[in-house]
Every structure is written in C-alpha cells, then in structure tokens.
Amino acid sequence: MISLNLKNKFEALELDDKKDAISSELMFIGELLKKLEIYHGIQNDFKIKNYNLNSQMPENDFLTFIYDDIFEIQKQLLVILSNIQNQ
C-alpha cells in the first residue's frame, strides 16, 4: 500500500505532473518486467510508452495511452508467470 506521505505528495501535483508521474511509474514497472524476463530467459521485446508532459494530450487520449501500457504490463506478467509455471 502507498504511504500517506507519498500519496499526499502525488495529490498536491498539478494534473500534467500527475500524468507524468503515472507514466514514469509504468515505465519503471516495465523495466522491472524486462529484468524478470532476462532472469527467466524469456525473449520478449516490449516497450512501455513514455508520456510526453509537453504533448497537451486530451484527457481521453491520455487514458487510452495509459490503458495500452497497463494492458502490455498485464500481458508481460502473464508471459512471465506462464514461463515460471512451465519450468
């Protein structure tokens, strides 16, 4: 669970800064997944997109952008889990 201090800092951010923070966290998760895949010998090239803070992306487009990344993370987790179970 997120610490109250970290949550309060996030809530204090401007909307665009929140979008950037979410994108950064998803990219970090993507890098962790890549390390897990390397550790388990899984050859799978995927990329989590980086939200450009200056893009002024409409809210609906941003949500779709982030949803795509979340879906990719879910898919990669399933690949890793399947690989671990089949060992």
**pLDDT for 24-60, tens place per residue?**
999 999 999 999 999 999 988 888 988 876 677 888 9
For range 60-67, the mean pLDDT: 91
- With left for phi above 0 and alpha for psi between -120 and 50, is residue 76 left, alpha or beta? alpha
78 pLDDT more than 80: yes
Alpha-carbon gap, residue 21 to 10, rounded angstroms: 8
13 pLDDT more than 80: yes
pLDDT of residue 49: 87
Whose CA is closest to 47, among 22, 63, 23?
23
CB atoms within 10 A of CB 49: 14
- With left for phi above 0 and alpha for psi between -120 and 50, is residue 37 left, alpha or beta? alpha
